[in-house]
Amino acid sequence: MADRLKGKIAIVFGAGSSGPGWGNGKAAAVAYAREGASVACIDLNLAAAEETAAIITREGGKALAFAANVTDLASVEACVAATARHFGRIDILHNNVGVTHMGGPVELSEEQFNASLQLNLGSVYRCAKAVIPEMLKGGGGAIVNISSLAAIRWTGYPYFAYYATKAAVNQATVALAMQYAKRGIRANCIMPGLIDTPLIYKQISSQYASVEEMVAARDAQVPMGKMGTAWDIANAAIFLASDEAKFITGVCLPVDGGQSCTAGLPG
């Protein structure tokens, strides 16, 4: 264990993984702990949160697991209060929850559109609303929002609500960064490019004839030749959450193997 986040208290929403292996939120929670943070692992799926917390405690770190639904303010507030009670403060807020519903306005149901809004953007609102007062009590903190390269690029998939809500996450990050710049809270977001996580096998693979075709096509789109991993996102998050980034706020950082430098047009 290293100490880039030694003594910090982190709360990670979406700290589980939607399938076996390493999702972005699970890797971030474990990576924060490996750098010395105590981590509250929050997920809709309690077993998934507990699995992440168990990895952290097995490695000698400190972790809690709670179930909460980021679309329900009361449940977010309850786990934020429990985290602050247990650890004494909250220094790092990591907003990882996001959903991809395929389709343009014609194909998307109103329910799917609203769910995208509530999950991708509403989660940032609710978690920030609940955590910021705790951060201010401790003199400040760092917010890391997980957006997507889709916030600024057409990525080849017809997911209208995803593009729109992730773009909103970027500007919500800027709004948080500017409002709290003088009060010690930094806010940044990460825009993952094409990442090989369990999520893509559930939410993206329908766009391809087979999983093998999906992996090959996604790898081919990345200038560096391969999709990233959840650890690439987690490593960027450690930096943005740490004091090494103390002069960095309001940034939307692509972590994408160079894809944002290209015309971005996949097959």
Ligand X SMILES: NC(=O)c1ccc[n+]([C@@H]2O[C@H](COP(=O)([O-])OP(=O)(O)OC[C@H]3O[C@@H](n4cnc5c(N)ncnc54)[C@H](O)[C@@H]3O)[C@@H](O)[C@H]2O)c1
Q: Which residues does the annotation mark as catalytic? A: 162
Q: H/E element holding 199?
A: helix 198-203
CA max distance for the chain: 52
Q: Which residues of 87-100 are buried (b: 16+ CB within 10 A; e: fewer)?
A: bebbbbbbbbbbbb
**Cβ proximity to ligand X, 54 vs 181, nearer residue:** 54
Whichever of 17 and 249 has its CB closer to ligand X, that residue is 17
What is the smallest separation between the CB atom of 209 and ligand X, expressed in angstroms?
A: 19
Binding residues vs ligand X (CB under 6 A): 13-14, 16-18, 23-25, 43-45, 48, 68-71, 96-98, 119, 146, 148, 192, 194-195, 197-200, 230
Q: Which is nearer to ligand X, 71 or 205 (CB)?
A: 71
Minimum gap (Å) between residue 54 Cβ and ligand X: 14
Between 60 and 160, name the residue whose CB sits nearer to ligand X: 160
Crossing angle for the helix pair 122-137 and 73-87, nearest 10 degrees? 30
Rounded least distance, CB 46 to ligand X, Å: 10
CB of 192 to ligand X, least distance (A): 4
Burial of 210 (0-12, 13-18, 19+ CB in 10 A): exposed
188 contacts 249 by C-beta, under 8 angstroms: yes
Six-digit token string for 154: 């057409």
Taking the C-alpha atoms of residue 244 and residue 28, their distance in angstroms, rounded to an integer, is 17
Q: Which residue is nearest to ligand X (CB)?
A: 98
